[in-house]
Amino acid sequence: MSSSRPISTPRALWLLGNLALRRLLNQWQSIRYARKRRTSRQPTTLATQTGDPAETTKRVATPPKGGGVPVFSIFLFLILAFNGFMLGGRGLALLSSISQNQSNSSSDKIEVTRSTQVRLQEADDAFRKIRQMRDTTEREKYAGMWNRYLDGLFLNEVRRGTYSDEEESARIERMREVYAQKGSAGFARVDSGGIWVSRGTWPTDASARSVFLLALSLILFLWIPFIVFGSLGTNNKDLGRVEWSFEWLSTFPISARALFASNLLVAAFLQPLVWVFLSPFLILVYVSAGMGWAAVPFGIGGMIYVALLAGALITLLEVAMRKYLSLGRLKSFQALFTVLGTAALLLFYASSNSTVIDNFLVQQARKLPSWSVWNPFSLPLVAAVPGQASGRSYPWAFGLMALTAFAICGLALAGSEWLTRDGLVKAGGPYQGVRRTRARSTPLNWLRGVPAHEMLLLLATATCSCRF
């Protein structure tokens, strides 16, 4: 490579990004090719050194890697993305239901579906006609029929939510009391439910909306430890040593900032689970905010923002840990990061299926102040509030996201350059000894080695003789 034509930073990022993507694709394809080697081996023969053609040994030839479009990989990616949408929709509907249920105790109206609201209005008309009847027996007969109809209606409505048996009974009893006092006017219509989301998924009540937003910020925050710890733990072959590719690339006429920037982008965007789970989750969040088809680019933009923040943390932590921690501690931290990253992913998955986890998140969200959502990791949710999404306030939220991402990534790159100003590799050996200052000698330090052994034997002999 000629040094008269140095590689520009954009060109270096493009080349290094393609190299990292090619390595990732090779890792995915190696699973399929390894399976082919086990099923379709092509033996060849080699003559031995004795010169006898009959005496041959078999050698397994390496099958060539096929080209073309990886159809199976694309199909698998689409299946995972569809699963991500289903998982995100179920999680948002469940979280919305729990937020509304826990906030309805202090609300004036109980939120029900549109069909239930219509049937309650029909019941109002029916009870109005029943009260006009003169025959007491007939009036009690029809009133009992409609009360049983309301009980079944309330039971079906409660079973749409996530309640235990005791909570269902208390919920039905409260709905009866509200209807007896206010009729259908004591109920508000909401269009959420099922495993899909819509504009009505976001709670309309102010208290439930605040709790729902704070709970979403807690769920979104789980992706930061997953991306960071997953990259430093599971996706890192050996955190105790610098990757061979990084040492090799350092010999090229490329600035250290370009190398660290490529590492940041690789850690941010080459996470398949981020694309198939986090991106659908944020898209559905913006769908519930009423953005329509604009939720797709907004959701992808929010995913890129979160991934960039995580990539900046990964780059800075990786350099700092390799700079200041010993190799033995690095391996221990890598094992710990693997556990923490897996736990964060499992918590996100459980939040979409477990009522217990969502109840815990909602309870914790009710304890948080409303201003806590204004943190760098929850900024994508600030623009998703329905009141802001329908107005003119959300563009500055995305502008603030872009400014925050630029500032944090810049600080991470500058910090990585500063940490490696004297080099990154400590020594060539696998483990290093530590030289410490010798402690002050005590008066009994002379009693060691052979003298100490002999004195211990004499002491034991004297003790035994004293006993006898």
| Sign, CA torsion 269/275/277/280 | positive
Does residue 31 belong to any structural domain of this protein?
Answer: no
Q: Is residue 44 classed exposed, middle or buried when 0-12, 13-18 and 19+ CB atoms within 10 A define those classes?
A: exposed
For the chain, what is the mean pLDDT? Answer: 75
pLDDT at 447: 62
pLDDT tens-digit map of 243-265: 656 666 677 777 788 888 888 88
Q: What is the 3-state secondary structure (H, E, C) of the chain?
A: CCCCCCCCHHHHHHHHHHHHHHHHHHHHHHHHHHHHHHHCCCEEEEECCCCCCCCEEEEECCCCCCCCCCHHHHHHHHHHHHHHHHHHHHHHHHHHHHHHHHHHHHCCCEEECHHHHHHHHHHHHHHHHHHCCCCHHHHHHHHHHHHHHHHHHHHHHHCCCCCCHHHHHHHHHHHHHHHHHHHHHHEEECCCECCECCHHHCCCCHHHHHHHHHHHHHHHHCHHHHHHHHHHCCCCCCCCCCCHHHHHHCCCCCCHHHHHHHHHHHHHHCCHHHHHHHHHHHHHHHHHCCCHHHHHHHHHHHHHHHHHHHHHHHHHHHHHHHHHCCHHHHHHHHHHHHHHHHHHHHHHHHHCCCHHHHHHHHHHHHHCCHHHHCCCCCHHHHCCCHHHHCCCCHHHHHHHHHHHHHHHHHHHHHHHHHHCCCCCCCCCCCCCCCCCCCCCCCHHHHCCCHHHHHHHHHHHHHHHHHHC
For β-strands 56-60 and 43-47, DSSP reports them as antiparallel
Does residue 429 belong to any structural domain of this protein?
Answer: no
Residues 218 and 365 in one domain: yes
Does residue 321 belong to any structural domain of this protein?
Answer: yes
Share of the chain above pLDDT 90, in %: 5
Residues 148 and 261 in one domain: no
- Please say if the pLDDT value at position 43 is more than 70: no
Residues 95 and 146 in one domain: yes
Residues 178 and 207 in one domain: no
How sure is the predictor about 307, in pLDDT bands with cuts at 50, 70 and 90? very high
Question: Is-contact 179 76, C-beta < 8 A?
Answer: no
Does residue 453 belong to any structural domain of this protein?
Answer: no
Does residue 54 belong to any structural domain of this protein?
Answer: no
Q: Is 197 or 139 the better-scoring residue by pLDDT?
A: 139
How sure is the predictor about 44, in pLDDT bands with cuts at 50, 70 and 90? very low
Does residue 84 belong to any structural domain of this protein?
Answer: no
Pairwise CA distance, residues 378 & 228, whole Å: 16
pLDDT at 324: 82
Q: Is residue 370 classed exposed, middle or buried when 0-12, 13-18 and 19+ CB atoms within 10 A define those classes?
A: exposed
Least confident of 18-22, 228-232, 254-258: 18-22
How sure is the predictor about 403, in pLDDT bands with cuts at 50, 70 and 90? very high
pLDDT at 150: 87
- Please say if the pLDDT value at position 194 is more than 50: no
Residues 96 and 133 in one domain: yes
Least confident of 66-70, 180-184, 248-252: 66-70
Count the domains in the chain: 2
- Please say if the pLDDT value at position 49 is more than 50: no
Least confident of 116-120, 195-199, 265-269, 453-457: 195-199
Q: Is 40 or 278 the better-scoring residue by pLDDT?
A: 278
How sure is the predictor about 364, in pLDDT bands with cuts at 50, 70 and 90? confident
Does residue 339 belong to any structural domain of this protein?
Answer: yes
Q: Which of 4-8, 56-60, 374-378, 391-395 has the highest mean predicted lDDT (pLDDT)?
A: 374-378
- Please say if the pLDDT value at position 391 is more than 70: no
Pairwise CA distance, residues 203 & 387, whole Å: 12
Last residue of a domain, one of 162, 189, 216: 189
How sure is the predictor about 65, in pLDDT bands with cuts at 50, 70 and 90? low
Residues 233 and 360 in one domain: yes
Residues 267 and 380 in one domain: yes
How sure is the predictor about 159, in pLDDT bands with cuts at 50, 70 and 90? confident
Residues 256 and 165 in one domain: no
- Please say if the pLDDT value at position 313 is more than 90: yes
Share of the chain above pLDDT 70, in %: 70
Does residue 37 belong to any structural domain of this protein?
Answer: no
Q: Is residue 377 classed exposed, middle or buried when 0-12, 13-18 and 19+ CB atoms within 10 A define those classes?
A: middle
pLDDT at 312: 92
* Mean pLDDT of all residues in 276-284: 89
Residues 324 and 269 in one domain: yes
User: Residue 419 is encoded by which pair of tokens?
Assistant: 């940490």
- Domain limits for position 152: 89-189
Last residue of a domain, one of 378, 402, 419: 419
Question: Is-contact 243 237, C-beta < 8 A?
Answer: yes
pLDDT at 372: 85
pLDDT tens-digit map of 103-154: 655 456 776 777 787 888 888 888 888 888 888 888 888 888 888 888 888 8
Residues 135 and 208 in one domain: no
Residues 95 and 119 in one domain: yes
Read off the pTM: 0.67
Pairwise CA distance, residues 32 & 37, whole Å: 9
Residues 154 and 251 in one domain: no
- Please say if the pLDDT value at position 404 is more than 70: yes
Last residue of a domain, one of 146, 162, 189: 189
- Please say if the pLDDT value at position 425 is more than 50: yes
Residue with tokens 């009893």: 173
User: Residue 303 is encoded by which pair of tokens?
Assistant: 């995913």
